[in-house]
Structure 1
Amino acid sequence: MTTTDSTPSRALRPPRTGRSNGQWAVDGREPLNANEVWKQEEGGLSVRERIETVYSRDGFGSIPPEDLAGRFRWWGLYTQRRPGIDGGRTAQLSDTELSDEYFMLRIRLDGGALTLPQLRVVAGISQEFARGTADISDRQNIQYHWIRVEDVPEIWRRLEAVGLQTTEACGDTPRVVLGSPLAGIAADEVIDPTPVIDEIVSRFVGDPDLANLPRKFKSAVTGHPSLDVVHEINDISLVGVVHPELGAGYDLWVGGGLSTAPRLAERLGVFVTQEQAADVWFGVIRIFRDHGYRRLRTKARLKFLLAEWGAAEFRRVLEEDYLGYALPDGPPPPTPTTPGDHVGVHLQKDGNHYVGAAPVVGRVSGDVLAGLADLMEAAGTDRVRLTPHQKLVVLDVAPERLDAFVAGLEELGLSVSPSPFRRNTMACTGIEYCKLAIVETKATAATAVATLEQRLADVTASLDTPITLNVNGCPNSCARIQVADIGLKGQLVTVDGEQLPGFQVHLGGGLASADRDEAGLGRTVRGLKVTADDLPDLVERLVRRFLAQREGSESFSSWVHRVDEEELR
């Protein structure tokens, strides 16, 4: 859907200092790199017609490079990694040399929400077109692999018949809007974010005026006090709070992001009502579109603009130049008192239960999803939601059907009572499919989980504080390594003159949670690297030292930042 939009006439124009950053509102719209050239020549949304009428008919070889490596992303499609290319060659080969003739396809699931009919369609597409693959991402999406371009129109037809889409699931666009998996059903919910998410999606997703951003734009909205949408690392987050005079609404955060230059989001200190929320979101994304840095893609995220302007100036520009009115000051959200992954069995406000289950590092399959659909139907529920922690939450399970439903989940490999290691480990796609990856991640992390469950069985009961283990295949931090207790950045490690798959280790990061007052980035210990095979040894050693040396109820991250480096090796 399109909206009427133009750059504000009073848009901020700070004096230019040195080289142009390619800011539309400051430097004009002359494209300063190849990506900006083809985006201006023809937007990414336009490629859908060619996929449906030409490429799906004529096959992979008919796709020109700027569509294949560029515009396809606007519809959730990336070429996947060609099998057999080791991590040492990732940086040596071009995108074309790394690419297979198959695609990753991402389903956009705003708020992570799926109905039972939608879940059956998602499962069926995996079974019929994706060789059974289906991963739950940490952005609440489902990702398929092995997709052929010939099958994409039929996949779209099936998805759209049940109200799903892949529109702007990737690309320099407003990506999926994260939402609380408990929206509308939790007794302790501050405010239901569903109306805001729905309005943002219906008004702005697919809008050509917002389809050429400097880079991706990540959003999150939650009204749950567990702060369950990782609000500190999104470009914009609206977090439910109660204003002492104005009632329930949202606290506004902007400018978060990780990758190779991590930066936590900042509060603007304003209070946003439910009715204002979509317009405020629209104001922030237009600031990014108009003032974001387009010359270098490595500097093209909102966090770099916020670092230059500061929160006070960003608020001023938002209010004066994009909203046309001032927002009242507002309170920050309280520190969470419950976990934000929602694993386990919990009571809803209507007397039914929601059940949070943990697959291993987000890896499911078409067969697992089809089995889940059968379980849900038998239990009389038709709603499931994915989480930003690679988990899933089934809503509306009646008390009398709870035991059978939980037992069925366990049989599917979806644990409602996972070990601390299974519950708190996530992994990105890795070298199995990703062209940027250097090392394997999913199987490495799954092996580490199974090994740690055995080796640390004697101390599992003592782990009353979660220790998160995030495994990433490259420096880009899709698995949020800088905000994990133990974050692993994929790289090649030299041992006795031989290069082996391994990781640089980040320690002591985290987001605001029931076990941590505020977010913080992890520390790197000089020279601390580990091979993939030795990963369980490192984690076991750290966990045992932590338990032996912790003071009182001290968290793992607090211990990491307190002790000397030698204790962390």
Structure 2
Amino acid sequence: MYQYDHLIVRERIAQYRDQVRRRLADELTEAEFLPLRLQNGLYYQRHAYMLRIAVPYGLLASKQMRMFAHIARKYDRGYGHFTTRQNIQFNWIELEQTPDILTDLASVEMHANQTSGNCIRNTTTDEFAGVAADEVVDPRPYCEILRQWSTFHPEFIALPRKFKVAVNGAAQDRAAVAVHDIGLHVVKNDAGEIGFQVVVGGGLGRTPIIGTTIRDFLPREHLLTYIEAVMRVYNQYGRRDNKYKARIKILLKAVGAEEFTRQVEEEWTHLKDGPQTLTAEEIARMEAFFAPPAYKQLPNIEQAQAADNKAFSNWLKRNVKAHKQPGYAAVVLSLKKTGVPPGDATAEQMDFMADLADRYSFGELRVTHEQNVVLADVEQSQLFAVWQEAKAHGLATPNIGLLNDMICCPGGDFCSLANAKSIPIAAAIAERFDDLDFQHDIGEIELNISGCINACGHHHVGNIGILGVDKDGSEWYQVSVGGAQGNSTAIGKIIGPSFSAQQMPEVIDRILKVYVKNRVDGERFIDTATRLGVAPFKDFVYATPIADTGRLVGEDEYA
């Protein structure tokens, strides 16, 4: 793992500590303090401050996970929430304690810089980077290069709007590249040279758009100069008069992909081959930080216990992923146990995950885009032991990629931007379908929930998407079908008028019934939905009225 320079972080904390002192003494108004706290990842939500901590490209050392547990215990209410940007959020923070939290984080080389504000946010990537069986090139060295370049970049700290970058280095895109402001596929050309397919102008939110490829192959040495050219065009021409039209996707759509590409190429002529051109030596230096760990020479083995242990067999099938190194596997620890908000982990679970990493996975963990945690390097001979221990701590639900492996934002229980609650909807659906045999029969399906149009739950690209909307002061939910991420990214289509919270489990049940009735040859849900289109789902869902059964169980549990 890359080792970070503490100096710039320590200087930022000292500056921020004085800003907090001045705010508490009323020497700064809230309006004056707002941009200062946002620069340090601090939001004010419905009930308290929320601190978002950066986890660069989702990679954590065990000591860093233990620090999260410490923060959860000392400064929060005993838990944290892992996000779709591979970060972690703490939702019950006291303002006067935030400088101490940042100081504690700095002791393990962590911070909250650029986790909010109109800047380049945390660069994300594949949680299986470096170990995926289908990997072309390990993207992590390039993520780190981008992190260093973008951190406190003086030209891009006040962009028209927030800016998100994702990098994928595998045959299968697990980084949702197509729905980022800039998406990069690390590829090799026919000569075996490494470069990037550059995708620009993707995004979700109020205007969901799939990104446009503006360069099929960018030689890797030009990564920073070309990305800087894209950023300069956006920074100059992106709209600042309307935050709803300020993202780069709106600029690209307004001028057209051809003209936007021309402007980038023109800007690049002033930067190409300049000081930021990456040398082979610098790339090799960065790659050394991500060299493979000290793997043993092991054979691939069959899991003998799986033959007569259905629970272990199901876990192997859903939560264990192929590894490029013989004798090893990647394990996904599920943060989606029924009854727990998706993505939440307690302090005890965080400490336990750190212990698992130290004992079984070279002291390293990964946060996933789907709000779970990965042990990337587990010996196949240790899988049964890992399963037993994870199961005892509520982290072995065999549901990865299944219905109850939902993506869910914190929603109206916490977020002041939300139109509706997300967590009770996720809880009600999880409880309705809390039958693992049923989930395994339904097969792979992505259900994503957002509490508002900002789409932090990525509902647009869920096979089933749920969006919280406001209707005359009441919370309602709009449903879409057919969204997808990855190599066949698609934006879901709304099936019709919105539903009450109490109707949502029945709505999902009816959608699944349409799928089960119409699937052929083992089709996944998304394949059937793509083949059929929205109409059959709409017709069946609205065919007869859905009863409004009253208040959801646990509806206010998390407020």
Match of 2:114, SS? coil
1:535 corresponds in structure 2 to: 504
1:65 and 2:41 aligned: no
1:272 corresponds in structure 2 to: 218
Match of 1:561 among 533, 554, 558: 533
Task: List aligned pairs for 1:164-563, cutoff 5 A.
Answer: 164-324=110-270, 343-349=319-325, 351-360=327-336, 361-379=342-360, 381-415=362-396, 417-418=398-399, 421-422=402-403, 424-454=405-435, 459-464=438-443, 466-492=444-470, 501-513=475-487, 518-527=488-497, 529-554=498-523, 555-559=527-531, 561=533, 563=535
CA contact (8 A) 1:174 1:218 kept: yes
Shift of 1:426: 1.1
Q: Distance in 2 between matches of 1:62 and 1:432?
A: 32
Match of 2:513, SS? helix
Q: Distance in 2 between matches of 1:437 and 1:69?
A: 19
CA contact (8 A) 2:450 2:459 kept: yes
AA aligned opposite 1:543: L
2:40 corresponds in structure 1 to: 75
Q: Distance in 2 between matches of 1:206 and 1:325?
A: 19
Shift of 1:477: 1.1
CA contact (8 A) 1:182 1:224 kept: no
Shift of 1:54: 4.4
Shift of 1:557: 2.6
TM-score normalised by the chain length of structure 2? 0.80
AA aligned opposite 1:312: E
AA aligned opposite 1:475: I
Deviation readout 1:522-569 (Å, 9 max, x if unpaired): 112232x22222211111111012111234454243155164431343
CA contact (8 A) 2:466 2:477 kept: yes
Percent of residue pairs identical: 26
Q: Distance in 2 between matches of 1:358 and 1:287?
A: 41
RMSD across aligned positions (CA): 2.6
Shift of 1:183: 2.0
Q: Distance in 2 between matches of 1:182 and 1:421?
A: 19
CA contact (8 A) 1:358 1:422 kept: no
- 356 and 68 in structure 1: CA distance in 2 versus 1, 3 angstrom threshold: same
Task: Say which is worse superposed, 558-567 or 429-438, in terms of deviation.
Answer: 558-567
Q: Distance in 1 between matches of 2:101 and 2:271?
A: 44
AA aligned opposite 2:529: S
CA contact (8 A) 1:79 1:103 kept: yes
**Unmatched 5+ residue regions in structure 1?**
1-44, 83-101, 328-340
Q: Distance in 2 between matches of 1:534 and 1:445?
A: 13
TM-score normalised by the chain length of structure 1? 0.79
**Unmatched 5+ residue regions in structure 2?**
1-9, 274-316, 337-341, 543-559
Misfit runs of 4+, over 6 Å: none
Q: Distance in 2 between matches of 1:354 and 1:245?
A: 31
Q: Distance in 2 between matches of 1:254 and 1:50?
A: 35
Q: Distance in 2 between matches of 1:56 and 1:186?
A: 47
AA aligned opposite 2:124: L
Q: Distance in 1 between matches of 2:185 and 2:319?
A: 21
AA aligned opposite 2:494: T
Shift of 1:392: 1.4
Q: Distance in 1 between matches of 2:327 and 2:265?
A: 42
1:89 corresponds in structure 2 to: none
AA aligned opposite 1:502: W
CA contact (8 A) 1:76 1:170 kept: yes
AA aligned opposite 1:526: G
Match of 2:221, SS? coil
CA contact (8 A) 2:510 2:540 kept: no
Task: Say which is worse superposed, 217-226 or 551-560, in terms of deviation.
Answer: 551-560
Match of 2:331, SS? strand
CA contact (8 A) 1:111 1:140 kept: yes
Task: Say which is worse superposed, 121-130 or 420-429, in terms of deviation.
Answer: 420-429
Match of 2:322, SS? strand
AA aligned opposite 1:557: A
Q: Distance in 1 between matches of 2:224 and 2:477?
A: 40
Aligned length: 481
Match of 1:307, SS? helix
Match of 2:91 among 136, 145, 156: 145
- 122 and 348 in structure 1: CA distance in 2 versus 1, 3 angstrom threshold: farther
Q: Distance in 2 between matches of 1:568 and 1:193?
A: 43
Task: Say which is worse superposed, 499-508 or 170-179, in terms of deviation.
Answer: 499-508
Match of 1:208, SS? coil
Shift of 1:493: 5.6
